[in-house]
Structure formats: C-alpha cells, structure tokens
Structure 1
Amino acid sequence: MSTQAGTWTLEEAERYLLGLELFGMRFGLDRMRRLMTTLDQPERSFDSIHVVGTNGKSSTVRMIAAILERHGLRAGAYLSPHLVSFVERIRIDDRDAEPQAFAKAVQRAAHAAALVDRSQRDDDTVTQFEALTAAAFSELSARAVDVAVIEAGLGGRWDATNVLPSTVQVLTNVGLEHTRWLGPTVRDIAREKLAVVRDGATLVVGADLHPDAMEEAQLAAERHGARLVQAPDEPGVEVAAPGTFQRRNFALARTAAAAYLEAVGRQLDIAAVRAAAGAVLVPGRMQVAGHEPLTLLDGAHNPAGIAAIAESLPQLTAGRRLVAVLSVLDDKDAAEMLRALLPHCEQVVFTRNHSPRALPPATLASLAQQLGGPPSELEADPRRALERARELAGPGGVVLATGSIYLIADLLRPAGQRSASIL
C-alpha cells in the first residue's frame, strides 16, 4: 500500500497496521526517535503524563484525562489495547478519534515510517505499535492538546512511548507478567517500568505497590531527583465505575492529576474531581452488558486482575448466583486465575476467543476440575457461551465474562464484523 496515494480511509489505515503486525515486536527506541524527528517531534508540543504498570493502566489513563478536562484543559489520551476499532486508542476531549482523523494520522505515520525504514536494516523496520504511537503523538499535536495521558504498551524502558519528556510518571502496580521480556522478578519488572522516570519529575505510585517495586520506585526517584508520591487507598469521592479496584485506580488518577496541576502552578478542584468520578466508565472493565441476569464484561487477563475482580464480587453479586464465561491465553497463569475466581462461581462456561494463543476450553475445564471447581460446560463460540451462561444464571443471577481482553472484544464486536488485532 502506497503511503502517498490519496487520503486513506479507516479501512486502509487498519489494513496498513495489521500488515505491520506480521513482522512482530522488536524493542528499542532508535526507530521511534527517528519517527519523531521525521514528524517534527510532535511529542514535545504538549505536556504529558506517562502511565506504566501491570494492571489498571487504561482505567487510570481515562480517569486522569477526565479529571484534567474538568479543570478546563484540553486533554488527550493514548490507550492500548482497543476492543473493537483502532480509533479507540486515541482520545481527545473524552471522545475516540474520528475515523477520518485517525486514518490521516496513520497515513502521516506510515509516510514517516517509510522514510525511516529506508535508513534501517531490512530486518529493523518500524513495528505496528511504533506506527500507532507515532500516529497518536502526531494527532495529539495536530489537535493542540494541552496535556496528553499516555499508556505504555509493554514495560517502559524500551517501549515506544518512552520518547516522551513527561512531567509526571505513574506506576499503577507491578506483577509477574511478560517475564520473558521484562525479567523474572517483581524487582526486575519494576526497574524496567520505572525507566520512564525523568529528571526533576514527579513519580506517582499506587497504594498497593509490592514492597520490592516500592524500593525500586524510591531508587528511581532518588536517581532522577524526582518527587515520589504514593496514592491513598481511597479516592475520597464516589466513583461511578464499579469495582473496588476502580476506586483504587481513581485514587491514583486523582493523585497524578494533582501532581500535574501542581507542576503547572494550579490546584486540584474537588468539584472537578467529583464530576469526573461520577462520569468515567471504562469499556471492558466491569462493563454492564445486560440485565436479568446482570451481565458484566471484564478484560482481566492475569492473576492480579482476576484477584481484583474477585475482591469486588461479593458486593456486586450480593448473594446472587454467579455464572462465569472464561477464556484465557496460553501464556497466562490459568491455574492461579481459576484459583481466584472459581470459589465465587456456581457454574462456568469455558469458551475460546479469536486469538490463536487461546487455551482450548477443554484444557481449562480439566484444570478447573483438578482445582475442585464448580460444574462447567464447554462452548467454543463466545457469543453462544455468553447466552448459555445467561440461561444458567437465570433472571435473578449474575454473569461475568472474563479472562482475556480478546474475549471481551469478541463479545462487544458487532455481529459479522471481522476481528481486528488488539495487540
């Protein structure tokens, strides 16, 4: 596909991005720095808040942006992954990017990527995430945002987003995930994520940070002369997004927003905080998708994420019958996820999402049986699995679909629409 031929449509932009996915993931910042230079360094035209961590990043990003918007700032956000369309990755003024604007941004990034690729080795071309990130920074700059809240993709040190001269860095939490790339221990992973800390900045960390990660945060702050702030457990306002974990995420977002406002000589307005807390709902995070039975969709995809859901289930189910729909990828600790969730379930329907890395439903059922789980059924098709779970739960019950963001994408995507990558 030529990067010069006419103005791209959203379909052409997505086709370009999906084509890049075939070439895999390659860490390093050299390609990204070249992209930024080619695009006239858009990442330097707005203030930024950089969010890293194992879980809760997307929710925290949305919440920070919502708080800042209600302080009269033009706020943007860059998120990953998306659920249905790539346009969800770029948000300005609390709205997803318009399809045509997104397509133009990707086309600009693609043109820059073609120039960068000419100067690189054949096996060192721009990746999908780099092109997406470049498009996001280009669009945020073109739309003249005051501040952008940016979610890191994987890790921090070599993540494409780590070209930002951010004012505030946020570490949500640290768990054992992506150990192949980030290291075998919480301390190793924290160190990789905290490589985003900038000299003289403010580092904000979550309330429930692992002690080893907290030590690394203290070391990073000392090394960079940065101020370290730990968020409280509670946000101090009512939060519309359901789940105890979302209260913690909002407490972190409030603290990060306050740190940014202080850096630019302003104070946090509690009325603005309260308005944001009452408005922000996060797609795919305890999202209500139906009633009678109450049907919830949550993209928790690792043990810590499932444990956070499990903590909130007694309050959400209020003693009602819970039936889960579950699909898990083969690189996750499925046993630990099941161990956290199964005690809360009356029944489970195991299914398979569209990712080629999805575990077979029978494998999950066998594992659940070994763990002494409740009765289960197998249904390979996610939509049929959800309908079966709703039948089993009955009008007065609760259904929870979880275990993989790919499963949530399958359930939210309009019937008949082809699946797009959500890397």
Structure 2
Amino acid sequence: MTSTANWTLDEAERYLLGLELFGMRFGLDRMRRLMTTLDQPERRFDSIHVVGTNGKSSTVRMTAAILQRHGLRAGAYLSPHLVSFTERMRVDDVDTDAVAFAKAVQRAAHAAALVDRSQREDDRVTQFEALTAAAFSELAARKIDVAVIEAGLGGRYDATNVLPSTVQVLTNVGLEHTRWLGPTVRDIAREKLAVVRDGGTLVVGADLHPDAFDEAQQAADRHGAKLIVAPAEPGVEVAAPGTFQRRNFALARAAADAYLAAEGRALDLDAVRSAAGAVMVPGRMQVAGHEPLTVLDGAHNPAGIEAIAESLPQLTAGRRLVAVVSVLDDKDAAAMLRALLPHCEHVVFTRNHSPRALPPATLASLASQLDGPPSELETDPRRALARARELAGAGGVVLATGSIYLVADLLRPAGQRNASIL
C-alpha cells in the first residue's frame, strides 16, 4: 500500500486489520503526534466526550441525533463496528461512505508512518489510534459543528482523550477491564473521569454507583466543572426497544441540553421528540427475524445482561425463550449467565470469531453449575442461531447475546472476513 493513488475501502480495512498485530497500547504521546501531523483536526469542531462501562454507543447516537435536529451539523465516532469500519464515523445520522472513509484512513496512515519513524521500533501507532485519527480528520474535513465521541477503553489514556471537549458524559461504571483500569469501581471511575476538562460540564447517569458519583463530584470540583445528574426518565417516547434505552436517551437529552446551554441555546422539545422517535441502535435489541421473533443484543458484561433481563418480560410476553450465547474470556461469564438463564427454556452455546471467545463447553459447564436450563453446543454462530430458532418454534423468541462479536458474526454477510478483533 505504498501507492499514492487513493485507497479503496478494502485497502483501508486491510491496513487497519494489519495494525491488530500491535494490539492495545495506552498513552497519549503517539496520538498527540498524530494530531500534530494532521494539523490538529480535533480542535476544528466542538466535542462531547462519552465514557462509561455500558450504553456509550447508544448515548452517542442519541445525543448526535438530538443536536442534528437543532440545526447543527453533528458528527459521531463509535466503537466497535458490526459489519464495516465505516460504521464508526457518522455525520448527520449517516455512516461515512466508502470513498471518504478510505481517504480518511489513508491520511491517517500517512501520518502514522511519519510518527512511527520518530518512535522506538517497538512503539508503533495502534489500530484504534489510527482509526481515531482518521475519524477526527474526516469530521474536521466535513466541517461539522459538533461531534459526539465515544471513548474506547477507560478515559485517561484512551486515544480519544486528546479532545478539548465542552461536555463530558459518564454513562455508568461497572467492574470491567480491571487489569488496565483498576480493581474497584472507584478506581475505574477515576480513570474514566480523567476526560473532564477545566470549566467543562460533566453529565452523569441517574443510576451511577455511589463510589463513581463521589469521584464525579471530586472531578467536577477539581476542574471547576458543572455537574449535572441526568433524570432517570427521558420525558418522551423512545423508539429504541429496551428499558435501558430510555435511561440512555434521558442521559443523551441531558448531554445535548448541556452543550446547547453552553452555546446560549435552549433545548427544543419537538427536536427531542423527533430524535427519540427515530434513533435505533444496531446490535441493541435488534430484531433480525420473525416466527420466531429473533433479537440480537451485544450486551457483554453482567450489567448489560441485567439490563436485557429487565426488558425480557416485554419482549417475550410469556413465550418460550431460547438464547444463543457467546462470551469473551475476560468477562464475568458466570454472573452474566446467572442473570440470563432463569429467563430461558433452552440455550445454545457457541463461539464468536474473536480468539478471546470462551469455548462453548466452558459456558455449558458454568450453566450446569448454575442449574441452568437444557443446553446444546454449536461452534458455528449461524448454525447455533438456526438451531435456536428451531427449538423456539414459530411462536417463540430467540435472543442472541453475550458479545458484540457474536452479533457481528450474525449480521456480517457470509464469507466476509474484514472484522476487527479489537
């Protein structure tokens, strides 16, 4: 890929997939150098920075949709994607087209090559850094007014933390990625809240853990930031299914309100209603079939599964529920199964494409220890879904969950290989 000709989408995705070799590396030095090389694109638009354990992608989509309906040119940066990397960069509720995405990645790749030359041989630009640089470059090129940006992991050393954001949003905090972020909710909250800026506005979710809320108050005080607690209910009807999406929309509404207030503008209720009635989040309670009703949800930790469980009575309405489950090896699979299994009459355990996916037999063993319902093993996700639909029958319900990678496997066209494992 040394040609000066414009890259195709396939070339851009192959470049990004090639960077998986370097894995994840924390620290902001490479990212700051990328931004300097690209002429500081992150400073050419206003930004709202979203961190948290669950609900980030939904909150980002919803906040951007509200702002767009206030006449602003609104961008969004999300992770991970389901089918194509292009899903990660959005402007005015539309994914970036293949040509623009490829050009953005090519710009970032050129900048990354320059940065790599100035670094130690073992200190290379990572996939997420290149993607983030490409996204900021593209959002700036599209001359947006404001971008809503989802952090990848944590906050303090996440590549997105080069943003001079106006508003920072903390969705919630759970015990996840403890190897990198710390062993307690307080430790993890502190890492995420490192994105708070001097004089900014910090918006937090209504159901924040007490230790995380205490850290939020301290962060706001330390930075002279205004602290806003979002209401539990959004005050409007929300089209996205799931009780948890009502909470996410309430948080998005509060975040949009905070940004508009900083601009001297008031929130327009008609615009809020329009966004609430339109935004659907791919991979979250996504209906993928009928007879039986087939739903895909990328919940990947205990809190996410508990949020689904809260909405299951509405989903099943007393019908037979069969689950398809795959979980990564760094998740609390036992806690996830403990929350899900009581609602299921049968489970098909499978394995998604990530090398970190737990073997189906391991999940079945955990389920047996929890006195779960009858289960089967099917290593191929598509065959697992087909078997679950057979078990549920036309009048039943099938839920595929446990990992965003499982949802991606089920949505991606058969044979497509350009899937990131990060």
- Which of the five TM-score ranges fits, normalised by the shorter chain? over 0.9
- Separation in structure 1 between the aligned mates of residue 386 and residue 110 of structure 2, nearest angstrom: 45
- Separation in structure 1 between the aligned mates of residue 112 and residue 416 of structure 2, nearest angstrom: 29
- Separation in structure 2 between the aligned mates of residue 16 and residue 382 of structure 1, nearest angstrom: 27
Equivalent pair of 1:48/1:166 in contact (CA under 8 Å): yes
SS at match of 2:400: strand
- Separation in structure 1 between the aligned mates of residue 6 and residue 52 of structure 2, nearest angstrom: 36
Equivalent pair of 2:59/2:249 in contact (CA under 8 Å): yes
Equivalent pair of 2:88/2:95 in contact (CA under 8 Å): yes
After superposition, the C-alpha distances for 1:183-225 in whole angstroms (9 at most, x for unaligned) are 0000000000000000000000001100000000000000000
- Separation in structure 2 between the aligned mates of residue 117 and residue 190 of structure 1, nearest angstrom: 32
- Separation in structure 2 between the aligned mates of residue 342 and residue 76 of structure 1, nearest angstrom: 39
- In structure 1, give the amino acid aligned to 2:88: R
After superposition, the C-alpha distances for 1:69-125 in whole angstroms (9 at most, x for unaligned) are 111100000000000110000001111000010000000001111111111111111
- Separation in structure 2 between the aligned mates of residue 132 and residue 244 of structure 1, nearest angstrom: 32
2:299: which partner in 1?
A: 300
Q: Matches of residues 192-207 of structure 1 in structure 2 within 5 Å?
A: 192-207=191-206
2:334: which partner in 1?
A: 335
1:270: which partner in 2?
A: 269
2:188: which partner in 1?
A: 189
Structure 1 residue 379: Cα displacement: 1.0
Equivalent pair of 2:205/2:230 in contact (CA under 8 Å): yes
Equivalent pair of 1:113/1:131 in contact (CA under 8 Å): yes
1:175: which partner in 2?
A: 174
- Separation in structure 1 between the aligned mates of residue 185 and residue 121 of structure 2, nearest angstrom: 35
- In structure 2, give the amino acid aligned to 1:197: V
- Separation in structure 1 between the aligned mates of residue 274 and residue 372 of structure 2, nearest angstrom: 42
1:311: which partner in 2?
A: 310
Structure 1 residue 31: Cα displacement: 0.7
- Separation in structure 2 between the aligned mates of residue 385 and residue 175 of structure 1, nearest angstrom: 30
1:151: which partner in 2?
A: 150
- Separation in structure 1 between the aligned mates of residue 19 and residue 386 of structure 2, nearest angstrom: 35
- Separation in structure 1 between the aligned mates of residue 32 and residue 55 of structure 2, nearest angstrom: 27
SS at match of 1:15: helix
Equivalent pair of 1:83/1:422 in contact (CA under 8 Å): no
Structure 1 residue 422: Cα displacement: 4.7
Q: Matches of residues 85-100 of structure 1 in structure 2 within 5 Å?
A: 85-100=84-99
1:13: which partner in 2?
A: 12
Structure 1 residue 419: Cα displacement: 4.4
Equivalent pair of 1:81/1:422 in contact (CA under 8 Å): no
- Separation in structure 1 between the aligned mates of residue 124 and residue 347 of structure 2, nearest angstrom: 44
Equivalent pair of 1:82/1:422 in contact (CA under 8 Å): no
- Separation in structure 1 between the aligned mates of residue 270 and residue 31 of structure 2, nearest angstrom: 39
Equivalent pair of 1:200/1:224 in contact (CA under 8 Å): yes
- With over 3 angstroms needed to count, the CA separation of the structure-2 counterparts of 1:422 and 1:92, relative to structure 1, is farther
After superposition, the C-alpha distances for 1:251-278 in whole angstroms (9 at most, x for unaligned) are 0000000000000111100000000000
Equivalent pair of 1:338/1:368 in contact (CA under 8 Å): yes
1:210: which partner in 2?
A: 209
2:122: which partner in 1?
A: 123
Structure 1 residue 366: Cα displacement: 1.1
Structure 1 residue 5: Cα displacement: 2.4
After superposition, the C-alpha distances for 1:332-378 in whole angstroms (9 at most, x for unaligned) are 11000000000000110111111111111111111101100001111
- Separation in structure 1 between the aligned mates of residue 395 and residue 288 of structure 2, nearest angstrom: 15
- Separation in structure 2 between the aligned mates of residue 232 and residue 109 of structure 1, nearest angstrom: 39
1:43: which partner in 2?
A: 42
Equivalent pair of 2:201/2:258 in contact (CA under 8 Å): yes
TM-score (normalizing by structure 1): 0.99
Does residue 161 (structure 1) correspond to residue 160 (structure 2)? The answer is yes
1:142: which partner in 2?
A: 141
Equivalent pair of 1:73/1:146 in contact (CA under 8 Å): yes
SS at match of 1:27: coil
SS at match of 1:161: helix
Equivalent pair of 2:84/2:418 in contact (CA under 8 Å): no
Q: Matches of residues 40-119 of structure 1 in structure 2 within 5 Å?
A: 40-119=39-118
Q: Matches of residues 338-357 of structure 1 in structure 2 within 5 Å?
A: 338-357=337-356
- In structure 2, give the amino acid aligned to 1:224: H
- In structure 1, give the amino acid aligned to 2:216: A
Alignment RMSD (CA, Å) = 0.7
Structure 1 residue 25: Cα displacement: 1.0
Question: Which region of structure 1 is more displaced relative to structure 2, 320-329 or 413-422?
Answer: 413-422
- Separation in structure 1 between the aligned mates of residue 321 and residue 150 of structure 2, nearest angstrom: 33
Does residue 404 (structure 1) correspond to residue 403 (structure 2)? The answer is yes
Identity of paired residues, percent? 87
- In structure 1, give the amino acid aligned to 2:144: V
- Separation in structure 2 between the aligned mates of residue 419 and residue 316 of structure 1, nearest angstrom: 32
Structure 1 residue 316: Cα displacement: 1.3
1:321: which partner in 2?
A: 320
- In structure 1, give the amino acid aligned to 2:378: E
Structure 1 residue 416: Cα displacement: 1.9
- Separation in structure 1 between the aligned mates of residue 419 and residue 362 of structure 2, nearest angstrom: 26
Structure 1 residue 24: Cα displacement: 1.3
- In structure 2, give the amino acid aligned to 1:252: L
- Separation in structure 1 between the aligned mates of residue 417 and residue 108 of structure 2, nearest angstrom: 24
Q: Matches of residues 224-243 of structure 1 in structure 2 within 5 Å?
A: 224-243=223-242
- Separation in structure 2 between the aligned mates of residue 314 and residue 114 of structure 1, nearest angstrom: 52
Equivalent pair of 1:54/1:175 in contact (CA under 8 Å): yes
2:372: which partner in 1?
A: 373
SS at match of 1:278: helix
SS at match of 1:325: strand
After superposition, the C-alpha distances for 1:281-309 in whole angstroms (9 at most, x for unaligned) are 00000000011111100000111110110
TM-score (normalizing by structure 2): 0.99
Does residue 31 (structure 1) correspond to residue 23 (structure 2)? The answer is no
Equivalent pair of 2:13/2:418 in contact (CA under 8 Å): no
User: Which 4+ residue blocks in structure 1 deviate beyond 6 angstroms?
Assistant: none
